[in-house]
Structure 1
Amino acid sequence: MEKFKHLKELIAAAEEDATKFYDKANGAAGTRLRKAMMDIKNAAQEIRNSVTELKNKEK
């Protein structure tokens, strides 16, 4: 569950840069947002892998 909480924190942190990029056309915020999206993707992949691992242990 700790990994899921971390994912939620990453998304919340990216929200400010998303607002700056989309609403104010701030290019630097777009760069930070792209990095945050990659971190979110990697965190989500870790969760997917651990869920699959736990699911397969039960069988």
Structure 2
Amino acid sequence: MENYTKLKELVASIEADAQKFYNNGNSAAGTRVRKGLQEIKTLAQEIRNEITAIKNAAKK
């Protein structure tokens, strides 16, 4: 559950930069959004692996 909380915080943290990019055309903010999205992707994969491990442990 800790990783899920981190994921929510990460999504919230890139919101301001996303607004700067889409509303103001700030390309540096777009770079920060892309970096944040890559971190989200990595963390999401970790959460998926964690869930799979817990499900498989419960089956045994």
1:9 Cα deviation (Å)? 0.4
Which residue does the alignment assign to 2:16? 16
CA distance in 2 between counterparts of 1:46 and 1:16 reads 25
Q: TM-score with structure 1 length normalisation?
A: 0.98
RMSD: 0.4
1:47 Cα deviation (Å)? 0.3
- Percent of residue pairs identical: 56
Which residue does the alignment assign to 2:33? 33
Question: What residue ranges of structure 2 are gaps of 5+ in the alignment?
Answer: none
Question: What residue ranges of structure 1 are gaps of 5+ in the alignment?
Answer: none
Count how many residue pairs are aligned between Structure 1 and Structure 2.
59
Q: TM-score with structure 2 length normalisation?
A: 0.96
CA distance in 2 between counterparts of 1:55 and 1:15 reads 32
List structure 1 runs of 4+ shifted beyond 4 angstroms. Answer: none
